[in-house]
Homo-oligomer: A and B are copies of this chain.
Amino acid sequence: MDQARLHKLLRDVKAGKVELEDAFARLKDLPFADLGYANLDLHRPLRGGFPEVVFGESKSVDQLKGIVSALRERPGVVIVTRITDEKATVCLDVAPEGRHYPQARMFVIHRKVKRLGRVAVVTAGTSDIPVAEEAAVTAEALGAPVTRIYDVGVAGIHRLLKRREEIAAAKAAVVIAGMEGALASAVGGLVGIPVVAVPTSVGYGASFGGVAALLGMLNSCSPNVSVVNIDNGFGGGFYASLIARK
């Protein structure tokens, strides 16, 4: 029940067009969640063009077709993550105005969004780049200009030190690392901005599919580091963009 209908109901009560008992029933039985839902919907636009996101991996080609068709009719940015090239082709058929980012494994329908503050995306190695691109493309779609700083792992700390100023110039940094995950702490120690750490499942042996990096990041001694799920580049880019809102 939206505001207009609530207004009308009250007017009708006053005008005697609706019986008291009827109005009572409609208001009493008013499913509060519907109201809640409406509230939430009203708030959605306030969140500022934030995206409709589709996790592409668990969707069939047909499901994707349907979802993308529906979402392109809406005003907000549309982001599809974890898609194969084949699924990307399907998305492009349905929504040729969208764009496929093969390295990020994403499909995005860009919309005009409010410009956010800058986000730095930093990786330890070259194998972390697909996750990093997922973060970077997400942040760009949401309106944040992105500085990409790749392959600056802790084992060659000087490469990181050279890029410190660039990272510090951002509003938030997404730090992406597999294996030991130490880069998040190192970046956190070098700059004063919030760091969103994304562990990656890159690695072998006792990296345990990202668990070693995850634990390293959670145990960071830099208090400006928080962590999202393993390989969750989208989450990292999204969260950094939230912080970068002006």
Contact = CB atoms under 8 A, between A and B. Distances in A.
Contacts of A58: 126-127, 202
A204 B189 contact: no
B221 A190 contact: no
Interface stretch (A43-51, A69-77, A83-91): A43-51
Contact of A157 (B124, B156, B186, B210): B186
Given A181-B180, A194-B243, A213 B205 contact: no
Contacts of A155: 185-186, 188-189, 220-222
Interface residues of A, number: 104
Q: Is the interface of A mostly helix, strand, loop or mixed?
A: helix
B201 A205 contact: yes
A238 interface: yes
A226 B196 contact: yes
A63 B226 CA distance: 29
Q: Which of A63, A201, A217 has the most CB of B within 10 A?
A: A217
A145 B21 CA distance: 34
A168 interface: yes
A34 interface: yes
Contacts of A55: 127
A219 B205 contact: yes
A31 interface: yes
Contacts of A24: 6-7, 10
B10 A153 contact: no
Interface string A175-214: 0000111100110111011101001011111111011111
A206 B210 contact: yes
Nearest to A47: B192
Contacts of A203: 219
Interface string A22-45: 011001101111111101100110
A231 B39 CA distance: 33
A102 interface: no
B202 A208 contact: no
Interface of A: 3, 6-7, 10-11, 13-14, 16, 20, 23-24, 27-28, 30-37, 39-40, 43-44, 46-48, 50, 53, 55, 57-59, 63, 124-127, 153-165, 168, 179-182, 185-186, 188-190, 192-194, 196, 199, 201-208, 210-232, 234-235, 238-239, 242-243
